[in-house]
């Protein structure tokens, strides 16, 4: 059986599942893919205290990478403001989670909600809400991974096109890495592992 797909999400999943060693090498990791934690498209909701969805979050021994993916060279290598804000918010959460002594989400919210409101004009999600549960789980999983938190733009050229030279860091400080897919049948479809 073959699983064929097309589009930015499919290309991102393909890069994470078939090219993680290459991706880690470009990020400067000597490569231990088996010790890597990958969240694919973790969603943190929309509106109010929500802040959207990453294409991936990758945890390795010395770093956590917050990943946005783009798959067309017609797009700029910059990140829209709402995605940039998402990264700032998650940096804040992960940094505070790691620095605080807390027993649970309720303690974390009590300790940091005022600061969060001042910084982002939002409130930390309520205890037992889907967003709070999702955030707490994600933050706990990332606890044992590296202290460096870095923003990454994963560029995946559409189809078999050759990528144009891109800067190693874009204008807002995201590291830019490129993974080129091998497409099937000339229409831009790729084969996904399963």
pLDDT per residue over 45-87, tens digit each? 876 668 889 999 999 989 999 999 988 754 556 678 888 999 9
pLDDT tens digits, one per residue of 104-161? 899 999 999 999 999 999 999 999 999 999 999 999 999 999 999 999 999 988 765 6
Q: How many CA atoms does the CB half-sphere of 56 hold within 13 Å?
A: 27
Please tell me the predicted confidence (pLDDT) of residue 172.
Answer: 85
pTM: 0.91
Question: CB count, 10 Å around CB of 176?
Answer: 16
Q: What CA–CA distance (Å, rounded) separates 29 from 62?
A: 9
User: Going by C-beta distance under 8 Å and a sequence separation of 6 or more, which residues neighbour residue 134?
Assistant: 42, 43, 44, 45
């Amino acid at each position: 059986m073959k699983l064929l797909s097309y589009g930015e999400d499919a290309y991102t999943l393909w890069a994470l599942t078939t090219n993680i060693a290459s991706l880690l090498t470009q990020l400067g990791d000597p490569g231990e893919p088996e010790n890597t934690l990958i969240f694919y498209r973790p969603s943190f909701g929309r509106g109010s205290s929500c802040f959207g969805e990453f294409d991936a979050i990758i945890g390795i021994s010395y770093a956590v990478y917050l990943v946005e993916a783009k798959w067309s060279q017609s797009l700029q290598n910059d990140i829209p403001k709402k995605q940039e804000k998402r990264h700032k918010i998650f940096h804040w959460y992960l940094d505070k989670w790691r620095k605080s002594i807390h027993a649970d989400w309720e303690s974390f919210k009590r300790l940091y909600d005022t600061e969060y409101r001042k910084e982002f004009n939002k409130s930390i999600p309520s205890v037992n809400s889907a967003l709070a549960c999702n955030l707490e789980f994600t933050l706990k999983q990332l606890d044992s991974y590296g202290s460096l938190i870095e923003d990454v733009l994963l560029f995946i050229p559409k189809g078999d096109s050759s990528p144009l030279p891109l800067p190693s860091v874009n204008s807002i400080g995201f590291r830019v890495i490129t993974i080129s897919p091998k497409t099937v049948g000339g229409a831009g479809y790729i084969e996904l592992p399963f």
